[in-house]
Amino acid sequence: RILILDFGSQYTQLIARRIREIGVYCEVEPWDIDPAAVEAFGAKGIVLSGGPETVTGDDAPVAPEVVFNLGVPVLGICYGMQTMAQQLGGLVINADEHEYGYAQVRAHGHTKLLKDIEDMVTPEGYGMLDVWMSHGDRVDQLPEGFKLMASTPSCPIAGMANEEKNFYGIQFHPEVTHTKQGYRMIERFVVNLCGCEKLWTTENIIDDSIKRVRDMVGTDQVMLGLSGGVDSSVVAALLHKAIGDQLTCVFVDHGLLRYQEGDQVMAMFAQNMGIKVIRADVEERFMSALAGEVDPEKKRKIIGREFIEVFDAESAKLKGVKWLAQGTIYPDVIESAGSKTGKAKVIKSHHNVGGLPEDMEMSLIEPLRELFKDEVRKLGVALGLPYNMVYRHPFPGPGLGVRILGEVKKEYADILRLADHIFIQELIKWELYDKTSQAFAVFLPVKSVGVVGDARRYDYVVALRAVETIDFMTARWAHLPYEFLEHVSGRIINEIPRISRVTYDISSKPPATIEWE
């Protein structure tokens, strides 16, 4: 396995995902990890990530010395290369010329890392690579024992190698797809230079997880909060395969789910798969709790609080349950860990509904804790969950509660569900669903005038929202075809009597958010 030390780059998780895609297990730890833990990890190779700091600054992050003494290959990327250079006796300077974006790098000296990996060969026989570069500083003098591996006109040392020790530094980012040969470089490093075998496959992950779950829980009973979302669904399928009837799921239907979603969850898990699912039908309770509240954050808090209370009450009815399963995935773990000094990482606050019930003597089991979303999805499909469920757009914990602007009412939720259903149905039909990252309808509690036949009507408005995004931190509104929007709008206004007008949201994030509340 490979250890990645994180210096705070926005691409660190991508490095981990690439290595996993290659079939090799890896973990991300903050750069200021305890040196003893680096040793104990038993890595066959170490990657030092990029980062936003400058190595020339005071108390700049550095790699633990032990990294260079373990006798395993080390790959420094961007900041990782610079700190490697500086720590091993080279010189890093603030460059006059900053370089961001596409660059062409010339390879030198047929190093073990880059040999025969190239996008083009110059007439003189040099390999040229199209790469994604982003740096302010650059290495100016190589550390002892290193030779030049790559260069660009504005960055004469864009790559360095100490082949005897298998230490490599590259100024560009092999983990982003703009670096066309990046995958091959990472593969060369982890497989050929570190000697890792490609054992991290979906089948192995499932077998291994099942074994671990069985060893952990023995004959104990396990409980799981099932939301119908990807993560908890995959946990349900996995645990059911591992321990069968020892698993009971609690599904809180708060009345803010999508069209027929509650019934679908029950049909899928209880009827099809034979999993024990307790459904708490608590729509009325949620509607009364939300009555009169218009503030988005307060609405979120109410939904969160009620959710936990219902979940607690339902789980208290189950006797002798020793384990609580959760669908925590690896990005959640990395995000909430961060660096000890808090320097290398901005910790994203989670806005998921739910939490650990208090006063319950249960241990936590999180079978997806080491997996990225794409791995979780592959697992779901391999475990027999339908593709369209596993690849469904994300849905926020507070559900339609934040898609009904202002006060939430059952009447509004029912109207919104129908409009949202038509929009999604048509996106799928027009093969646009997989091209958007998230799409939904929003209910606006204002009335607008319309005309049907000879009659004037005065009814509600819905907005359609569709975005394209990689990470949901920034997003572009989806440029859906006009004919498509026209068709959807026509269906919504004609089929839902209480809606008189449909609008399309053309705001990107930032400055708008994806949800309207």
Distances (CA, A) of 167 to 65, 182, 194, 226: 14, 17, 11, 46
Q: Which is nearer to ligand XMP, 442 or 499 (CB)?
A: 442
Q: Which is nearer to ligand XMP, 228 or 397 (CB)?
A: 397
Site string (365-394) toward ligand XMP, x via CB under 6 A: -----------------------------x
Q: Coil, strand, or helix at residue 26? A: strand
Q: Coil, strand, or helix at residue 446? A: strand
The Cα–Cα gap between 194 and 81 comes to 18
DSSP conformational letter for 189 = I
Q: Which is nearer to ligand XMP, 47 or 402 (CB)?
A: 402
Of 173-181, 194-202, 206-214, 508-516: span binding ligand XMP (CB under 6 A): 508-516
- What H or E segment, with its residue span, contains residue 303? helix 296-317
Is 509 a binder of ligand XMP (CB under 6 A)? yes
Query: 131, 397, 424, 493: which one contacts ligand XMP (CB under 6 A)?
Result: 397
Is 507 a binder of ligand XMP (CB under 6 A)? no
Query: First CA to last CA across the chain, in angstroms?
Result: 42
**Based on the number of CB atoms within 10 Å of its own CB, is 350 exposed (0-12), middle (13-18) or buried (19 or more)?**
exposed
Question: Residue 194 is which amino acid?
Answer: C
Site string (246-265) toward ligand XMP, x via CB under 6 A: --------------------
Report in angstroms how near the CB of residue 509 gets to ligand XMP at its nearest: 5
**What HEC string does 478-496 produce?**
CCCCHHHHHHHHHHHHHHC
Q: Which of 26, 53, 78, 155 is catalytic?
A: 78
The Cα–Cα gap between 133 and 155 comes to 10
Report in angstroms how near the CB of residue 290 gets to ligand XMP at its nearest: 14
Report in angstroms how near the CB of residue 436 gets to ligand XMP at its nearest: 12
> 462 to 481, contacts with ligand XMP by CB under 6 A?
472
Of 72-80, 173-181, 259-267, 507-515: span binding ligand XMP (CB under 6 A): 507-515
Of 42-50, 162-170, 328-336, 506-514: span binding ligand XMP (CB under 6 A): 506-514
Closest listed residue to residue 165, CA positions, set 82, 36, 69, 79: 69
The Cα–Cα gap between 242 and 150 comes to 50
> 175 to 214, contacts with ligand XMP by CB under 6 A?
none
Report in angstroms how near the CB of residue 392 gets to ligand XMP at its nearest: 12
Site residue total, ligand XMP (CB under 6 A): 14
The Cα–Cα gap between 295 and 134 comes to 41
Q: What is the DSSP string of 352-407?
A: -S--PPTT---EEE-TTTT--HHHHHHHHHHTT--HHHHTPPP--TTGGGGTB-SS
Q: Which is nearer to ligand XMP, 221 or 352 (CB)?
A: 352
Please tell me the total number of residues recorded for the chain in this structure: 517
Other Cβ atoms within 10 Å of 317 Cβ, number:
9
Q: Which is nearer to ligand XMP, 196 or 303 (CB)?
A: 303
Q: Which is nearer to ligand XMP, 54 or 352 (CB)?
A: 352
Is 514 a binder of ligand XMP (CB under 6 A)? yes
Q: Which is nearer to ligand XMP, 305 or 351 (CB)?
A: 351
Query: 372, 398, 462, 496: which one contacts ligand XMP (CB under 6 A)?
Result: 398
Q: Which is nearer to ligand XMP, 274 or 394 (CB)?
A: 394
Respond yes or no on whether the N-terminal peptide bond of residue 511 is cis (omega within 30° of 0).
Answer: yes
The Cα–Cα gap between 466 and 393 comes to 11
Report in angstroms how near the CB of residue 402 gets to ligand XMP at its nearest: 6
> 129 to 148, contacts with ligand XMP by CB under 6 A?
none
Report in angstroms how near the CB of residue 388 gets to ligand XMP at its nearest: 18
Q: Which is nearer to ligand XMP, 81 or 404 (CB)?
A: 404
Q: List 2's β-bridge partners, or say none.
A: 26, 45
Is 396 a binder of ligand XMP (CB under 6 A)? yes
Q: Which of 26, 53, 155, 173 is catalytic?
A: 173
Distances (CA, A) of 446 to 407, 460, 461: 12, 6, 6
Closest listed residue to residue 375, CA positions, set 4, 10, 26: 26
Report in angstroms how near the CB of residue 8 gets to ligand XMP at its nearest: 22
Closest listed residue to residue 516, CA positions, set 408, 507, 305, 418: 507
Q: Which is nearer to ligand XMP, 154 or 352 (CB)?
A: 352
Report in angstroms how near the CB of residue 443 gets to ligand XMP at its nearest: 15
Token code pair at residue 283: 């729509």
Closest listed residue to residue 396, CA positions, set 351, 356, 366: 351
DSSP conformational letter for 272 = I
> 310 to 369, contacts with ligand XMP by CB under 6 A?
351-352
Is 225 a binder of ligand XMP (CB under 6 A)? no
Residue 175 a catalytic site member: yes
Query: 12, 438, 489, 500: which one contacts ligand XMP (CB under 6 A)?
Result: 438
The Cα–Cα gap between 448 and 433 comes to 29
Q: Which of 53, 99, 118, 175 is catalytic?
A: 175
The Cα–Cα gap between 240 and 56 comes to 53
Of 180-188, 363-371, 396-404, 405-413: span binding ligand XMP (CB under 6 A): 396-404
The Cα–Cα gap between 137 and 83 comes to 11
Query: Which residues contact ligand XMP by CB under 6 A?
Result: 300, 351-352, 394, 396-398, 402, 438, 472, 509, 513-515
| Residues assigned a catalytic role | 78, 173, 175
